[in-house]
Amino acid sequence: MTRAQQTLSIGLLVSSLYMVAFLGLAPMPEKLQTEFIPVLPFWAIVSFGAYLLAKLGYGVLTFNDVPAAHQELVKQIEQARVELKKKGVEVD
């Protein structure tokens, strides 16, 4: 099973379970059915965004722990400065 098939399968399973809960086909408490289930997709999107921001922040925080990437970035910056100076752009 490829990664795309696995992702699609999991997505269909989760969406099917959500539709069963949203349409009330499975018995559950009324308060859960009316207050929690309708806002579940928005909560999932916000949680996923927060996870991605935390992952990005951690990556920025530990950037100096990746010396090869740091050296590559420094070389690219120097190359850009040289090219800009050749074109007459003032670079600090």
Residue 62, pLDDT above cutoff 80: yes
CA proximity to 83, closest of 92, 91, 73, 72:
91
- Rounded mean pLDDT of 34-58? 95
Global pTM value: 0.59
Residue 37, Cβ neighbours under 10 Å: how many? 15
For the chain, the three-class secondary structure string (H helix, E strand, C coil) is CCHHHHHHHHHHHHHHHHHHHHHCCCCCCHHHHHHHHHHHHHHHHHHHHHHHHHHHHHHHHCHHHCHHHHHHHHHHHHHHHHHHHHCCCCCC
Q: Which residue has the higher pLDDT, 42 or 68?
A: 42
Break the chain into its structural domains and give their ranges: 3-64
Q: What are phi and psi of 47, to 5 degrees?
A: -65, -40
